[in-house]
């Protein structure tokens, strides 16, 4: 109940006024049955604007820190993220990747829509970064369609580092469902999984119009922290960044 109340009464109308969402390709989202919505990730509000424009409920996997805050604010945020369709995942445990995969398979097994950000984190500069293969493994093990989704302009409405919202124009572009049945039985093959996620990222690049960088966004952020916030030249080979190993 709270999900729909936030969407149509408490939060959705405000987001609609601020972002004036423009939608294309919505017919590619199935009206029933499971699917993975694979989106680029520009801002926190991606997880709000995407559900705003889709008639069905979308579940996202979210980092556990969103649910473990203390005090009244922490408890409120944990409740809020839960009712708007986010499921906590512990990303620090050695078995976290398998736990996330198991949770995602359960959600899809229930016939739901699962929202995923293959970059693994928000883009540090608006470009599209290398995808992680977890989404590919999930798609190959479940056989559900992958629908690429390009979020455009959410970083204007909700600029990185800002806690406030601004007026702008958000676009949500849905691509045609991607079918990877030709790779049936090959889940776990890292070369196949890399090929699958690269295909997804190519479609996202084509949909969003973003510049693609063949480095993990997390590696860029980590290097920025190590260099006191100085930007890293992402046009140089990924081998310069020790944490950007494939897979």
Report the mean per-residue pLDDT for the chain. Answer: 87
Q: Structure pTM?
A: 0.86
Q: Read off the tokens for 183.
A: 């790779």
How far the first Cα of the chain sits from its last, in Å, is 39
CB 50 within 8 A of CB 66: no
What pLDDT was estimated at residue 62?
A: 80
> How far is the CA of 100 from the CAs of 69, 103, 145, in angstroms?
21, 5, 19
The per-residue pLDDT for range 1-25, each reduced to its tens digit, is 888 998 999 999 999 999 999 999 9
- Ordered by start, the domain boundaries in the chain are 2-55+94-214
- 190-208 and 134-142 helices, crossing angle to 10°: 110
- How would residue 242 be classed by pLDDT, with cut points 50, 70 and 90? very low
* Phi, psi torsion values for 169, nearest 5 degrees: -130, 115
What pLDDT was estimated at residue 51?
A: 95
Fold of 2-55+94-214: Glycerol-3-phosphate (1)-acyltransferase (3.40.1130)
Residue 237 has pLDDT above 50, yes or no: no
The owner of tokens 């969402």 is: 21
């Amino acid at each position: 109940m709270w999900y729909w109340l936030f969407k149509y009464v408490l939060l959705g109308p405000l987001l609609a006024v601020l972002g004036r969402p423009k939608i294309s390709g919505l017919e590619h989202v199935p009206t029933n049955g499971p699917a993975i919505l694979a989106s680029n990730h520009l801002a926190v509000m991606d997880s709000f604007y995407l559900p705003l424009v889709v008639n069905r409920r979308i579940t996202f996997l979210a980092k556990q820190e969103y649910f473990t805050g203390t005090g009244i604010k922490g408890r409120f945020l944990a409740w809020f993220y839960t009712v708007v369709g986010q499921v906590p995942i512990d990303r620090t445990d050695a078995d976290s990747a398998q736990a996330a995969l198991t949770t995602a398979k359960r959600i899809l097994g229930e016939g739901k829509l699962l929202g995923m950000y293959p970059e693994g984190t928000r883009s540090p500069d608006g470009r599209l970064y290398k995808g992680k293969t977890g989404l590919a493994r999930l798609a190959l093990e479940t056989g559900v369609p992958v629908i690429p989704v390009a979020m455009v302009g959410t970083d204007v409405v909700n600029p990185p580092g800002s806690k406030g919202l601004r007026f702008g124009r958000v676009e949500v572009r849905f691509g045609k469902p991607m079918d990877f049945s030709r790779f049936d039985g090959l889940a776990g093959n890292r070369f196949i999984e890399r090929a699958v996620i690269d295909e997804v990222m190519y479609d996202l690049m084509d949909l969003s119009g973003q510049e693609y960088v063949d480095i993990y966004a997390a590696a860029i952020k980590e290097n920025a922290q190590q260099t006191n916030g100085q930007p890293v030249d992402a046009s140089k080979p990924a081998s310069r960044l020790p944490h950007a190993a494939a897979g």
